[in-house]
Structure 1
Amino acid sequence: MKPLVELLTATTDFFRSRGIPSPRLDAELLIGHALGLNRVGVYLNFDRPIRDEELEPIRVMVRRRANREPVAWILGKKEFYGRDFAVGPGILVPRPDTETLIEALLARLGDADPTFVADIGSGSGCIGLTLAAEKPGVRLFAVDVSEIALATTKQNVEALGLKERVAVLRGSLLEPIPASRPLDWVVSNPPYIPTLDLDGLQPEVRDHEPRIALDGGADGLDVYRRLIPAAAARARVGIALEVGAGQARAVAELVRDAGLGEVAIVRDLGGIERVVIGTRPA
């Protein structure tokens, strides 16, 4: 039986040969997950012999990663704003940049109970469910067109104990939310990558993540042009949108054109204009 450290070294070398961007980290995460160890536990068990029956599930995960499948899919979860969210094939993996949207909204939501929020294109549910978990007054409509996304959102609703405050609805944009239902905020991380840029993305994104969650049309703004007027017509307070690099000014103009005169642009930790927020004048 080989010790864990030897398996870790071999896996790291294999990942490096396949062009994996973070070979050592990925090897630690996958092997640790298979053995029920966190990263510290992996280091504390370098000399542990790996039994033959433990190798097969590790081999399966290593093959998946070598095919450039996202690590989060293989692990079945992704940490976002301090909470684990279930993810898997067919689900856009939550990005750290999206936490900028969370921070910007939490600073503006207040503590009114109830506060009605619609998360359009919910995917894993990480945006809307984080807002609901952080703000007990939030009543959430999580909307997506994908059955896989809706099932994943429901799984995360259950895991976070938010069933009483979240409605998960299938449909396009705001259509499945009855017109009689009040909405204070509409939030979304819509697809914003220009179509011609998709082929240049990392294989984890280009070859695996759902195209419907990525492809924003010729200039990346197709969904914004449909969503913003509909959201502005429904939201009593405002709308908050994640945007791609270089898109904030154009999206801000769409927000103003829709009648939301108070517009703010928020930068992410890398200095990129990442979030556009439009609100009604006080």
Structure 2
Amino acid sequence: MLASGGFSQDVKMRTDHYPKLVAAFNCTNQKGATGEVIRFAQAVGADTLQMNFIQLFPFAEPESGTLDNPAVYPFSAPGRGCIYVNKQGKRFVSELERRDVCAFAQINLGPDMKPTYTIFNAAMVPLIGGTPKEIESGLKKGRFITADTIGELAKKIGIPADALEKTVNDHNRYLQEGKDPEFNKPISKAMVPLDKGPFYAVAQWPAVHHTMGGLRINKNTQVIDVFGAAIPRLYAAGEVAGGVHGSNRLGTNATADCVVFGRIAGVNAAKEKSA
């Protein structure tokens, strides 16, 4: 039974299938996600599919690519009114867009615009499941930057204060009017205006995150060979298998993938008779 994960950490393997994802991109995945088990399975005839479906996490720590607790805030806060801004203090995408859209909106800004920032305030924290302890920890690590005013926050993160103040004021007006003329973001009453501090910023940049492609399996999680037949006594589950998530895996769905297909693989493998 194969359950070795994907190939996000293998630069050559990922660029073979997605040439843009060069070594300059960090990776959030575990260090063992190097794809050799997929290659070993291919050596005995296993088929693969959708190997070019590789997901970026748009909000990783910019230098290391870590998906730490502060990196979850940009992912969790859009429904509560946070904004994403570049070094010029301007928004560059609808904050409610898919991960891939948010990631490439940043990449298309160019490498000189690394990092971008998520701006939020204290009122949003409990609404997204955050805690004062998380904020305190992020501040101590230097991941969160805080200030009592937007202008002061802008100076701390090195972007033009007047530009960020205008962006925030415009976005607050969009929330009040119920329409975002810049990026057509759906506005809801659940969104909180950025009109009261303390305010926070967290730096972010895309990193390679999850490989949706992998070994072809059937409903019994048997690995399928290049001729469409099941390879005897060989099963696969989790990120090593492809075709489960399509081109853009939804957040946390990998857990269900592992639990469901892992159980199916375990049950079926246990039924195999000893050789």
**Could you state the TM-score of these two structures normalised by the residue count of structure 2?**
0.25
More helix by share: 1
Instruction: Give the structure-1-normalised TM-score.
Output: 0.24
